[in-house]
Amino acid sequence: MAKPVVERTLKAMQESTKRLSESHGGAGALFAHYADNKLESNFMVVAYRDRSADPLFVPYVNPDDLGLAKPQQTVERYGSVSCLVMNDPTPQGQTPAAGSARAAKCSRSSGALTVEITPDGGDHSPKQVAELVDEVWASVS
């Protein structure tokens, strides 16, 4: 049972790496998918030899118009890493609860390299994901 799953996963990663490279004009690329033992926490990791938008983009929203303490999507910077952050709705005038901000995607880019990590499942703090981006960056730069 495990062998077909492993083979399917490896094939998907190879094909995804190929597509990622093609989407950046044939640039060197890597796609990997990681999960914890319980499959509760997953990460999609991409690295490619090209630049991307930095910082990441989110549309402007005035939280006052919605009666919120913060917009539901923000971009936060952790050193050289920018993270798209999903914020739980917190009423205006209240302090957001600890753990109410989760990373949707974190990215680091220079003129010739981009590393992005997209968590899937679990509650991942933007700072933790940014640290993972820096670890991958150090291993491929």
pLDDT at position 34, please?
87
pLDDT at position 111, please?
86
pLDDT at position 11, please?
94
pLDDT at position 1, please?
57
Q: pTM of the prediction?
A: 0.90
Sequence-ordered alpha helix ranges (H) in the chain: 2-23, 63-66, 126-140
Angstrom distance (rounded) from CA 139 to CA 135: 6
What is the Cα gyration radius of the chain? 17
Q: What is the DSSP string of 83-98?
A: EEEEE---BTTSPPPT
Angstrom distance (rounded) from CA 59 to CA 71: 10
pLDDT at position 37, please?
82
Angstrom distance (rounded) from CA 67 to CA 69: 7
Check residue 132 and give left, alpha or beta (phi > 0: left; psi -120 to 50: alpha). alpha
pLDDT at position 38, please?
80
The SS3 of residue 67 is coil
Taking only the tens of pLDDT, the chain with its 141 residues reads: 567 888 998 999 999 999 999 999 999 999 998 888 887 889 999 999 999 999 999 999 999 999 999 999 999 999 999 999 999 999 999 999 999 999 999 999 998 999 999 998 778 999 999 999 999 999 998
